[in-house]
Amino acid sequence: MAVGLYTNLYKDNDLSVTKSVISVLESADIEYYIDPLLSEYYPEKKVYDDNVFATLEMLITVGGDGTILAVGRRCAENKVPILGVNKGTVGFMAEVETQNIEQLVSIIKHGEYDIDERALLCAEYKGQVFYALNEAIVYRSDTKMIMVDVFIQDQLVDKYACDGFIVCTPTGSTAYSLSAGGNIMSPKVKAIGLTPINSHSLHTRPIIVSDQEVVDIKVRRAYEDTVLIIDGVEETKISLNEDVRFYKSDMTLCFIRLKSSNFYSALLSKLNIWGQTDN
């Protein structure tokens, strides 16, 4: 079995990290395949196609969390775990920092890792199903607030006048939901987070529900069509009085974790980095 290599060329624009990863893999005699987009820079390397991708032991990503989101569904569908090398700003999902790339050898060659399985969220609208690792957002498409009704198991939870509404996984609780005042959830929690964005109310609070429950959001009022955003990508427009349904997917996405990895220590470290500003 071989490993795959996927690079965000925007994050690693000089390919310095990618070169280091390739050097480590080759020095340890680890078989690997590169993403087709990398073949322009490494025409002599083996490239994975769909058939090869499905057989990979893992996919090494070079970039940030957005890079992982970009390949997440493909990896989930093929049951290929992700090993992230962090070239992003915070990198909650990435496991290896660029200064520790040599750790790849002990992880890949000697199996010194654990598997971290993460839930995916389904967002269903007019028969289309979208899959989110972090979050799905019902959001305004102009500068005006929207009015949404939120239901859990067909029971009305509340009516919100807001800029938008976030439905997130435990993984996504440290992403946009956190910035909007949502709760941080342990990845081991079997739950879905509900976070209004800039709600015009004094009583509004984020809500955590069981991942066995179904959430429906209906847009009651908007000046323009609202949009459904999945992991940062706008997917479709939402019409008034049409339900968007959210529920836990049967698919999961697996991550490669160092045996010394700890969510809470990583959380403290990453949030401290996030809070820093450039002088």
Q: 157: burial class by Cβ within 10 Å (0-12, 13-18, 19+)? A: middle
Catalytic residue (one of 14, 35, 49, 65): 65
Residue 65 annotated among the catalytic residues of the structure = yes
Q: What residues act catalytically?
A: 65
